[in-house]
Amino acid sequence: MDICNKTVLEWVDEAVELCRPDKVMWIDGSNEQAEMLRKEAMATGELIKLNEEKLPGCFLHRSDPDDVARVEDRTFICCRKEEDAGPTNNWFDPKVAYPTLKKLFDGCMQGRTMYVIPYIMGPIGSPYSKVGIEVTDSIYVTLSMLIMTRAGDCALEQLGESNDWVRCMHSKANLDPDNRYICHFPEDNAIWSINSGYGGNALMGKKCFALRIASYQGKNEGWMAEHMLILGIENPKGEVRYVAAAFPSACGKTNLAMLIPPKVYEKDGYKAWCVGDDIAWMRKGPDGRLYAINAEKGFFGVAPGTNAKSNPNALATTQKNTIFTNVVLNCDDNTVWWESLDKNPPKNSIDWKGNIWNGREDVKGAHPNSRFTAPAENCPVLSPEFNSPEGVPIDAIIFGGRRAKTAPLVYQARDWQHGVFIGSTMASETTAATTGAVGVVRRDPMAMLPFCGYHMGDYFKHWLEMGDDLGEKAPKIFNVNWFRVDDDGNFIWPGFGDNMRVIMWILDRAAGKGHAVETPIGYEPAPEDINTEGLDISRQTLEDLLNVDVDLWKDEVAGIKEFYAKFGDKLPKELYDELDKLEANLNK
Ligand code: OXD
Ligand code: MN
């Protein structure tokens, strides 16, 4: 296709001049071109073809062992004024960042091909979607972008002559961790990422654009870019209602997004539909309600922990046209395996580093952050609204985290402002699996701590303003905690599909129905308000799940005060008012 957008052509010319690739290839989104790239990647060993009968169109990729995750300490917001980045971001002065990066990018693609990837975040033709152009020297990144975004000519067509697109410079360079930079220039609509090939650092549509840059755009343009799944629940009459939910990374967003209704609902004809598992862009629609689109076109999910019990839909989604990264290669049948997939680690196998593994127990076969990059269209419960340009109307926003004892199973905010307070104080406790210290509270407001592209105090203010704008039509806000434990540390809520029982109470409340009791922290269901038919759970356990321990909450207030102090006078007064209310309620 002829590319006539001058701003794009000029920028690509500049990128070519700086990176000096041997060749430039424009990605058009065709199957033929993708097939050619896959063949090339197989020839170089970047991709390993898996069993065509069992996993058609699937590949294994092994990353550099030092390049396996997002690098928050190497991730920067490069706005002109330091105070605009705020206390929760690393700031890098653009006056220094640009020359530093230019030096690293200088000639970095010599001997390589530069792939130019035009892509759309959000459905094609949606008034909510936006275009980015990524240049990269990685075929793995290119093929992953083709799964995760709507990429190719469709993006250039949508862009037309407009200058409203995000400039994304990426090079794996030589993967040097000491010179790894993931830099965002929100004021210039630009992202520069170098020395990493890992998804969250290199697939720039995802966290870099769809959250960090987009959150900044949303603040300026009156919409929201959030780290949220979008789930639809269909009732037996065929009416579907949607929730958007934010949980910190590794709290089961993909599992909730693809939940399978428990028998008690399934038998009556209820269905659950997945619209998205990670990133929601939300705006006020023509009828005044809040509408959400999934910015992505695929799932970049964590493999370990995904199995036939935890998430059969995710597993099914990965059975074709998927790229697996850093999992075990089963040499007997050329398929893949990861910890907890099943109880049969393959005896004749190679681990994520490429070493002979053979199911040994002293080292993990798959990296704990090994991933699948799978097309959304494979998902058996993908919402029929997935490509809808208008998005879906959101009835409830749900926040959550991992709390052993503090947060109850579910509670509802009294109003939007109180809901923003709840989101701003969201937290998870570290588990033995994640760090040495167990029970350390990590605050992660709206699950956006690593992803907010500007000052988080201003982000809270933007949330409050969105609520003012939506008024009576604003979604109702809730908090959930699937991770309450008993005194022996055992989880007391079954979780997974049974979380739908809680979602049903949430949807009832959002519709202005459903019973609740008032507590110092908000509205809660009484134990009998949660449908437990078919569940082996005692009344006492339900009471424990819903218990609000006033002493623990007083400690929580102290923790919130400490956290809020970081934001100085950028913390909206309304949130301090909510904190005062909470404290007063606890002292009543
Ligand atoms: C992700 C994350 O990969 O949140 O989605 O880390
Ligand atoms: Mn995420």
Predicted confidence (pLDDT) at residue 438 exceeds the cutoff of 70: no
Any ligand 1 atom below 6 A from CB of 369: no
Q: Which residues surround ligand 2, an ion (CB under 5 A)?
A: 278
Residue 295 identity (one-letter amino acid): A
Q: Tokens at residue 243, please? A: 């929730």
Residue 376 identity (one-letter amino acid): A
The per-residue pLDDT of the chain, averaged, comes to 96
To the query of whether residue 4 is one of the catalytic residues in this protein, the response is no
Predicted confidence (pLDDT) at residue 273 exceeds the cutoff of 90: yes
Residue nearest to atom 4 of ligand 1 (CA): 249
Q: Mean per-residue pLDDT for 57-62?
A: 98
CA neighbor of 320 nearest in space, from 52, 24, 502, 40 = 52
pLDDT band at 357 (very low <50, low <70, confident <90, very high): very high
Q: Tokens at residue 118, please? A: 């035009």
Q: Measured between alpha carbons, how far is 493 from 483 in angstroms, rounded to an integer?
A: 7
**Which is higher by pLDDT, 263 or 429?**
263
CA neighbor of 192 nearest in space, from 218, 170, 160 = 170
Ligand 1 pocket, mutate which of 204, 278, 299 (most atoms under 8 A from CB): 278
**Ligand 2 center to residue 512 CA distance, Å?**
31
Q: Which helix (H) or strand (E) segment is 24 a member of?
A: strand 23-26
Q: Measured between alpha carbons, how far is 81 from 241 in angstroms, rounded to an integer?
A: 42
**Ligand 1 center to residue 304 CA distance, Å?**
14
Which pLDDT belongs to residue 149? 98
Which pLDDT belongs to residue 429? 87
Q: Measured between alpha carbons, how far is 510 from 472 in angstroms, rounded to an integer?
A: 12
Contact between 131 and 119 (Cβ < 8 Å): yes
Residue 376 burial (C-beta neighbours within 10 Å; 0-12, 13-18, 19+): buried
Q: Measured between alpha carbons, how far is 343 from 226 in angstroms, rounded to an integer?
A: 36
Residue 436 burial (C-beta neighbours within 10 Å; 0-12, 13-18, 19+): exposed
The residue annotated as part of the active site, out of 58, 108, 251, 274, is 251
Q: Could you give the 3-state DSSP secondary structure of residue 76?
A: strand
Q: Measured between alpha carbons, how far is 194 from 575 in angstroms, rounded to an integer?
A: 38
CA neighbor of 41 nearest in space, from 113, 140, 158, 126 = 140
Q: Tokens at residue 540, please? A: 């006492």
Residue 403 identity (one-letter amino acid): R
What does the radius of gyration of the chain's CA atoms come to, in whole angstroms?
24
Cα 106 to chain centroid, rounded:
32
Residue nearest to atom 2 of ligand 1 (CA): 249
Ligand 1 pocket, mutate which of 70, 204, 208, 251 (most atoms under 8 A from CB): 70
**Ligand 1 center to residue 77 CA distance, Å?**
18
Please state, as a whole number, how many other Cβ atoms lie within 10 Å of the Cβ of residue 213.
28
Contact between 473 and 289 (Cβ < 8 Å): yes
Q: Mean per-residue pLDDT for 179-197?
A: 98
pLDDT band at 134 (very low <50, low <70, confident <90, very high): very high
Q: Measured between alpha carbons, how far is 419 from 587 in angstroms, rounded to an integer?
A: 21
**Ligand 1 center to residue 248 CA distance, Å?**
8
Among residues of the chain, what percentage have pLDDT more than 90? 95
pLDDT band at 435 (very low <50, low <70, confident <90, very high): very low
Write down all domains in the chain, each with its CATH number in brackets: 6-46+70-222 (3.40.449.10), 226-296+384-587 (3.90.228.20), 299-378 (2.170.8.10)
Q: Tokens at residue 164, please? A: 């409203």
Contact between 122 and 295 (Cβ < 8 Å): yes
**Ligand 2 center to residue 249 CA distance, Å?**
5
Lowest mean pLDDT among 112-126, 247-261, 548-562: 247-261
Beta bridge partners of 168: 134, 191
pLDDT band at 271 (very low <50, low <70, confident <90, very high): very high
Beta bridge partners of 491: 485
**Ligand 1 center to residue 191 CA distance, Å?**
18
Residue 103 has φ and ψ, to the nearest 5°, of -60, -40
Using the atom order of ligand 1, give the atom closest to the CA of residue 451. Answer: 4
Which pLDDT belongs to residue 432? 56
Task: Please enumerate in sequence order all residues whose Cβ is within 8 A of that of 481, keeping only pairs 6 or more positions apart, or say none.
Answer: 400, 401, 402, 403, 406, 407, 408, 409, 410
Q: Mean per-residue pLDDT for 141-163?
A: 97
Lowest mean pLDDT among 56-60, 249-253, 375-379: 249-253
Any ligand 1 atom below 6 A from CB of 249: yes
Q: Tokens at residue 266, please? A: 């399934």
Residue 139 identity (one-letter amino acid): I
Using the atom order of ligand 1, give the atom closest to the CA of residue 447. Answer: 4
pLDDT in tens, 524-573: 999 999 999 999 999 999 999 999 999 999 999 999 999 999 999 999 99
Any ligand 1 atom below 6 A from CB of 200: yes
CA distance to 60, 329, 335, 346, per residue, from 359 (Å): 18, 11, 14, 6
pLDDT band at 430 (very low <50, low <70, confident <90, very high): confident
Any ligand 1 atom below 6 A from CB of 277: no
Predicted confidence (pLDDT) at residue 434 exceeds the cutoff of 50: no
Which pLDDT belongs to residue 555? 96
Residue nearest to atom 6 of ligand 1 (CA): 249
Using the atom order of ligand 1, give the atom closest to the CA of residue 206. Answer: 5
Predicted confidence (pLDDT) at residue 235 exceeds the cutoff of 70: yes
Among residues of the chain, what percentage have pLDDT more than 70? 99
pLDDT band at 431 (very low <50, low <70, confident <90, very high): low
Q: Mean per-residue pLDDT for 506-530?
A: 97
Q: Mean per-residue pLDDT for 87-98?
A: 98
